Amino acid sequence: MILIDGKKAAAELREELKHEVTGLKAKYNKVPGLTVILIGDLTPSQIYVRNKEKSANEVGLKSEVIKYPDSIEEKKVLEKIEELNKDETVSGILVQLPLPKHIDKQKVIETILPSKDVDGFHPMNVGNLSSGYESSVPCTPLGCYLLIKKVEPNLNGKKAVIVGRSNLNGKPMTQLLLKENCTVTITHSKTKDLKAECLEADIIIAAVGIPELVRGDWVKKDTIVIDVGINKTDNGIVGDVHFDEVSKNAKALTPVPGGVGPMTIACLLKNTIDCFKRSLS
Ligand code: GUN
């Protein structure tokens, strides 16, 4: 079984990006800038944002974190986004989710200029991705895609089963795999026989938020299994895949932690650099 090392793949990607930023700086005398807005004091969000900032600095991006208390008015956040939209030194804007209840997530997402939407959540980017046009692609599915391609560069005709239909993961993952000529099945909580669907798969992407849902006997030999889940349990952090059981059957599997997570952040840096490059042309 191949243990897909997301930490190593992310370090390699960051190294490539670092070289790219050095080249851009030499050529244009400016560097891509990433601004993250963090609202409230949820611990997981604080940890994510700290990691994003650290990684951005490591590859040489200009990085800024704007922190607001939970009580911030929605209007103030939207005004700040408008200001960042106009700021030429800001290539990418990310508003960390989840947001406090009184702030409309969709309004926030739609206020970010599509050309600075490093999350790929703006409807314009969602539409462009599904039409096969150039767009920002959400970081987590992009990270999963790059990990799959490392194990299997030719995905032509492969059967992919995605567990979970979220806008963050399941849906954009579908588009990326369709572009690679996979036959894609999206499953979810109302799917009749999840195990039977998974048993058909050459590639399984588990992104549903249910601890250890995908079991060993759901996976045929030679399947690549990507675990997007991060679930807090009494036994610590586990994914959506039963690691011990599935590792006995699968051809390749991502661990949790150390699989998809590090790639998500590296892909955010990639998206920021890509936004910068598109802004030059
Ligand atoms: N919260 C958890 N994952 C994400 C993400 O990919 N983007 C944003 N903006 N917030 C998140």
pLDDT tens per residue across span 157-208? 999 999 999 999 999 999 999 999 999 999 998 999 999 999 999 999 999 9
Residue 153 is encoded by which pair of tokens? 């560069």
Length of the chain measured in residues: 281
Q: Which residue's CA is minimally distant from atom 3 of ligand 1?
A: 97
52 as an active site residue: the answer is yes
Q: Which residue's CA is minimally distant from atom 1 of ligand 1?
A: 97
Q: Which residue's CA is minimally distant from atom 11 of ligand 1?
A: 97
CB of 94 closer than 6 angstroms to any ligand 1 atom: yes
CB of 95 closer than 6 angstroms to any ligand 1 atom: yes
Query: Closest ligand 1 atom to the C-alpha of 268?
Result: 6
Choosing from 62, 80, 116, 119, the catalytic residue is 119
Instruction: Compute the average pLDDT of residues 214-233.
Output: 97
119 as an active site residue: the answer is yes
CB of 117 closer than 6 angstroms to any ligand 1 atom: no
Grouping H, G, I as helix, E, B as strand and the rest as coil, residue 63 is strand
Asked if pLDDT for residue 281 goes beyond 90, the answer is no
Domains of the chain, CATH where assigned: 28-113 (3.40.50.10860), 139-261 (3.40.50.720)
CA 177 to ligand 1 center in whole angstroms = 21
Asked if pLDDT for residue 43 goes beyond 90, the answer is yes
Kindly give, in sequence order, each residue whose CB lies less than 8 Å from that of residue 13, ignoring residues fewer than 6 positions away.
146, 263, 266, 267, 269, 270
**Whether the model pTM is above 0.95:** yes
- The CA-to-CA distance between both ends of the chain, in Å, stands at 44
Grouping H, G, I as helix, E, B as strand and the rest as coil, residue 39 is strand
The residue behind tokens 């611990």 is 43
Mutation probe of ligand 1 site: the residue of 94, 228, 231, 271 with most atoms within 8 A of C-beta: 94
Confidence (pLDDT) at 76:
98
